[in-house]
Amino acid sequence: MSKAMSMDFLRPMTWAEALAAKAADPEARPILGGTDVMVELNFDRSRPSALLDLTAIPELAEWELRDGVVRLGAGVPYSRIITELGDLLPGLAIASRTVGSPQIRNRATVGGNLGSASPAGDAHPALLAAGAEVEVESVRGVRIIAVDEFFLGPKRSALQPGELIRAIGIPVTGGPQQFSKIGTRNAMVIAVCSFGIALHPAQRRVGTGIGSAAPTPLRAHAAEEFLGAELDWDGPLDRAVANRFGELVAAAASPIDDVRGTAAYRRHALSVLARRTLTWSWEEYRCV
Amino acid sequence: MTDIQVTSPVRDGVGASAPRPDGTLKVTGEFAYASDLWMDGMLHGATLRSPHPRARILSVDLTGALKLPGVEAVLTHEDVPGAKLYGVDHADQPVLAIDQVRYQGEPIAVVAADHPETARRACALIRVVYEVLEPLTDPRRAALDPSYEKVHAGGNVVRHQPIRVGSVFEADVVVTGEYEVGMQDQAFLGPESGLAVPAEDGGVDLYVATQWLHVDQDQIAPCLGLPPEKVRLTLAGVGGAFGAREDLSMQIHACLLALHTGKPVRIVYGREESFFGHVHRHPALMRYEHGATRDGRLVYVKGEIILDGGAYASSTPAVVGNAASLGVGPYSVPNISLDAYGVYTNNPPCGAMRGFGAVQACFGYESQLDRLAEACGLDPVEVRIRNAISEGSRIATGQIVDMPAPLTSMLEQVRDLPLPEGVSTDLRDLPGGVANSTHGEGIVRGVGYGIGIKNICYSEGFDDFSTARVRLEVIGEEAAVLVHTAAAEVGQGLVTLKAQIARTELGVPNVTIAPADTQVGSAGSSSASRQSYVTGGAVKTACEAVRERLLELAAKKLSHDGLALSGGKIVSVSGIVVASVAEVLGDDVIEETREYRHRATAPMDQLTGQGDAHTQFAFCVHRAVVDVDVELGLVKVVELAAVQDVGKILNPIALEGQIHGGTAQGLGLALMEEIQVAGGLIRNPSFTDYLIPTILDMPPMRLEILENPDPHAPYGLRGAGEPPTLSSTPAIVAAVRAATGKSLMRIPVRPEHITGT
Ligand SMILES: Cc1cc2nc3c(=O)[nH]c(=O)nc-3n(C[C@H](O)[C@H](O)[C@H](O)COP(=O)(O)OP(=O)(O)OC[C@H]3O[C@@H](n4cnc5c(N)ncnc54)[C@H](O)[C@@H]3O)c2cc1C
């Protein structure tokens, strides 16, 4: 085969080496679980100069809890989030359970989900609702990007040349969190649309995240503000408030018709998911 | 037989759940599929396909591809030495496109190179200049509008088959409906693959995953300009087929490249290419009008079924024959006026898929029976019982059902099975599953029924036969049997069954199945649920011939009259063991080859559709229980119960697998499986968006399997693979209708059809 067709395979053993390698070849393609990268390569949709395998770097596969924030290494697979972080990050854990199949969850990571920045990535609504921050780094230094500023367009993120995702900082709110997604089969499906919600009782605030219903994952700001103003944190949930919340979430989306569903259905389903997840969260909040 | 039991019946004979020889290998990932074929020095083939559904080819420039290092051949239609067209039924499909393309994905050129990557790159370097034309994608216009432009010069109607019975088309109760079936894919494992090896005699040996070796040979040889005996095929590991391997895919291309380069050439499609590389299930547009008495007895059926065959004929004519002859279902209908059309368009080519024309019709007529039940205020099972055929009834073609057809008792049996418990609290059992979209909100349960009728074996006068060669000899002091047929094991378990039959017929435990190849006569296709019947019949017949010769030999060698073969021993009239098979055989080898034909069928009358077109009918009944989240339009099938009459259970576990699998494929068509086509272009050619049911979608099944023998068939068996695919779809849709009150005229049902958004 000619040189033009070959691809280097780099496997740094330390984070510093990884940053150096990425600096030396900004086109080198990071790979963690490979569940997006390998699909792209197999379909011949992209042809990077090199693959930069980050799976040998121990700290990427670890998480720690410090000052009320979980610092989740970019390479922690969904299966471990489900088993180890269900209590601290309930929203992300529920979202993780909906990803792919057991095989995919054993390999696929939140770092990879962010790296792909697909509007349909299932981690994103949970991260948006929780108010997460993405910790990115290059040889130039570290940047912290609020997750709602991370997504710039379909499959485009705020990562700059040479930057790698090191970790995701996710505040532990102590409040109930939920995630729901719509798929046309009962497992192993890309979201037709999805919704994440997190109650922040200390701040008397509700965080939201919408997936697969706009060019990027996004927060439903007006819906959050509405709840901020209307929720009675000491009483039961008013049905009218829940319904209005659903409508505002639907209004925040700008979905399209595609093979997975229609724009009208997506809006409708989002309003239902928003109402239901708020109701479940509220029931849980009132019980504790 | 006598009452002295001196021999024991052979293990793993007919009726036993004999294990599959390929089972463990497949589960552990060690089974060699066609894509695993390998030869030192082999080249890799790749195919350049049209991006347009309809275009004129103005020029093809191969220069760039030929210059690429590693490329050994780049071929177009000009390099096809023999016939330029092929086809299972009509030869209308170019081996490589000639001056025009008629569907997206039509092969234009093939490349052989030293690496698959090189071959693909070379394809990308071929410059084709197209004049893109507006694709003809409206099957109704293709069928009925003579002013519609033509996909092929001969016209757009591949076959029109009317059914005309009686003349009374008035009734007290009339229900109508227009139904639509989307394009389903077979979605088999193991995309199209094969290895062509040039031979010293100027011929070629092809190792390939296919469904019918001889019909491939018959199509390949003329295109290569070779006599059939110089094109030898051997079956390679098949992942699954479901009809999609009835048509050729890479066969001629690999042979052309191998003969051109003088080197072995392997072609392996990827999944995306596979979606373009095989035919799909015909999408259907159907109109039905059912007239009945007030107590729900059918007076007449009017119907129109338009099947979109896409760019080439493939098996469209036979699919139309099934849709027409089985178009009113397993019901006695005194007056029928039905027209089935199969047409050409610039949509993806469609052909054989499990259920073959009967599936589409079944969704239509079963939906209609539910409407009729509602109009007459009857229970859906009751309305079916009032109209069901039974042994001695006539179907739409006038053919008498001369075998058991216990539909009434099957319907009662499925209705009377206990219903599953109430709505579960486990997320995995709810609509939406682990996606956590409901905790019980919006859920409504529904129950629905479906019944279908499927013809088994090839119909309409086709000379449908199989060939088996059986050899009996002593190997290492033990009697051993070798069974050789050309029948394709496509996952259905035929390899296991052939050995079971040989064990039962010859009483010899040690049976080997030779690889399927063209060194023995044709076995016909692994389709139409026919191989147990026809190849099973051939193996049985050949074994009987071997047994006869064995007994002659025994009589001669032992100078003993009235000998019989029992439990693998030669026994006297009184049942006393006289000798073992091995003792009788000694150094003698007995080999017999037999062809087996089922009883002849007749064509359908071109104007009335009348005729004894079918060999055998098979029936399955389903009851579906679903939970629907009516607010979100998501469905969880809670339980599927099936009653199927198989005549004789040959291998219980394999049979259950067939019924489970067929039912699951019907579930897929009801709720999710569709190749979405817009303007002739496939929008979802991957398993990312072509969804097939997972274990969370397919519920546990309750099966009741009946054994009412068909007196015409070997062992009384009935083909079993297809019937469950027919009836599960309408049963599920009926259950969703019952839960939602929506009319749901199109399958697959999508969430937005239920929510109305
Ligand atoms: C069968 C199947 C089912 C799937 N189901 C789902 C699903 O249900 N929900 C869902 O959201 N996704 C799904 N996916 C997509 C995929 O699994 C997820 O996006 C996953 O989170 C990707 O993680 P990964 O570790 O495999 O990423 P990789 O494939 O390794 O990488 C993904 C992208 O991120 C980049 N990247 C990786 N690491 C870094 C880093 N440290 N810094 C910067 N960029 C980086 C890569 O270069 C690449 O662009 C599915 C995929 C498959 C194959």
Which residues lie across from A208 on neighbouring strands? A197
For residue A180, the chain B residues in CB contact (below 8 A) are 432, 435-437
- A224 part of a folded domain: yes
Nearest chain A alpha carbon to B694: A187
Do A182 and A241 share a domain, yes or no? yes
pLDDT bracket for residue B622 (50, 70, 90): very high
pLDDT tens for residues A248-280? 999 999 999 999 999 999 999 999 999 999 999
Query: What's the rounded mean pLDDT across residues A92-112?
Result: 97
Do A125 and A80 share a domain, yes or no? yes
Query: What's the rounded mean pLDDT across residues A129-142?
Result: 98
Do A139 and A194 share a domain, yes or no? no
pLDDT tens for residues B223-280? 999 999 999 999 999 999 999 999 999 999 999 999 999 999 999 999 999 999 999 9
DSSP A21-75: HHHH-TT-EEESS-TTHHHHHHTTS---SEEEE-TT-GGGG-EEEETTEEEEETT
Residue ranges making up the domain that contains A32: 6-53
Atom of ligand 1 nearest to the CA of A29: 47
Confidence at residue B1, expressed as pLDDT on a 0 to 100 scale: 37
pLDDT bracket for residue B424 (50, 70, 90): confident
Domain boundary among A113, A143, A171: A171
Confidence at residue A83, expressed as pLDDT on a 0 to 100 scale: 98
Do A258 and A228 share a domain, yes or no? yes
pLDDT bracket for residue B2 (50, 70, 90): very low
pLDDT bracket for residue A5 (50, 70, 90): low
Instruction: Judge whether B684 is closer than 8 Å to chain A, CB to CB.
Output: yes
Domain boundary among A141, A171, A201: A171
- Tell me, what CATH number does A97's domain have? 3.30.465.10
Do A47 and A72 share a domain, yes or no? no
In the predicted model, what is the mean pLDDT of chain A? 96
Predicted complex ipTM: 0.96
Rounded Cα distance between B685 and B271, Å, is: 8
Token code pair at residue B447: 């129950």
Atom of ligand 1 nearest to the CA of A52: 47
For residue A44, the chain B residues in CB contact (below 8 A) are 120
Do A65 and A167 share a domain, yes or no? yes
- A229 part of a folded domain: yes
Atom of ligand 1 nearest to the CA of A121: 11
Instruction: Judge whether B679 is closer than 8 Å to chain A, CB to CB.
Output: no
| A151 pLDDT higher than 60 | yes
pLDDT bracket for residue B314 (50, 70, 90): very high
Walk me through the domains of chain B, giving residue ranges and CATH numbers. 23-31+465-597 (3.30.365.10), 34-134+191-238+245-277 (3.90.1170.50), 280-421+430-459+603-755 (3.30.365.10)
Pairing verdict, β B677-678 and B746-747: unpaired
Do A118 and A94 share a domain, yes or no? yes
Of B337, B320, B332, the closest CA to residue B165 belongs to B337
- A27 part of a folded domain: yes
Do A163 and A101 share a domain, yes or no? yes
Task: Answer yes or no: do A259 and B676 touch at CB < 8 A.
Answer: yes
| % of chain B with per-residue pLDDT over 70 | 99
Domain count, chain A: 3
Cβ-nearest to B689 among A186, A259, A268: A259
Is the alpha carbon torsion for B78, B81, B86, B88 positive or negative?
A: negative
- A208 part of a folded domain: yes
Token code pair at residue B286: 């159907």
Query: What's the rounded mean pLDDT across residues B408-432?
Result: 94
Rounded Cα distance between B114 and B68, Å, is: 11
- A181 part of a folded domain: yes
Rounded Cα distance between B695 and B680, Å, is: 32
In the predicted model, what is the mean pLDDT of chain B? 97
Interface of B with A in 24-63 (CB under 8 A): none
Residue ID of nearest Cα to ligand 1 atom 32: A112
Instruction: Judge whether B441 is closer than 8 Å to chain A, CB to CB.
Output: yes
Confidence at residue B7, expressed as pLDDT on a 0 to 100 scale: 53
Token code pair at residue A169: 């900082």
Rounded Cα distance between A134 and A88, Å, is: 18
Confidence at residue B425, expressed as pLDDT on a 0 to 100 scale: 87
Token code pair at residue B153: 């010069």
Instruction: Judge whether A49 is closer than 8 Å to chain B, CB to CB.
Output: no
Do A247 and A149 share a domain, yes or no? no
Token code pair at residue B266: 């392997």
- Tell me, what CATH number does A215's domain have? 3.30.390.50
- A1 part of a folded domain: no
Confidence at residue B185, expressed as pLDDT on a 0 to 100 scale: 98
pLDDT tens for residues B725-755? 999 999 999 999 999 999 999 999 999 999 9
Do A115 and A209 share a domain, yes or no? no
Please name the helix (run of DSSP H) or strand (run of DSSP E) that holds residue A167, with its range, or none: strand A164-171
- A237 part of a folded domain: yes
- A131 part of a folded domain: yes
Domain boundary among A171, A191, A211: A171
pTM of the model: 0.97
Is the alpha carbon torsion for B581, B582, B584, B588 positive or negative?
A: positive
- Tell me, what CATH number does A22's domain have? 3.30.43.10
Residue ID of nearest Cα to ligand 1 atom 7: A99
Token code pair at residue B63: 């220069």
Interface of A with B in 10-29 (CB under 8 A): none
Question: For B55, which DSSP code?
Answer: E
Do A185 and A138 share a domain, yes or no? no
Do A42 and A127 share a domain, yes or no? no
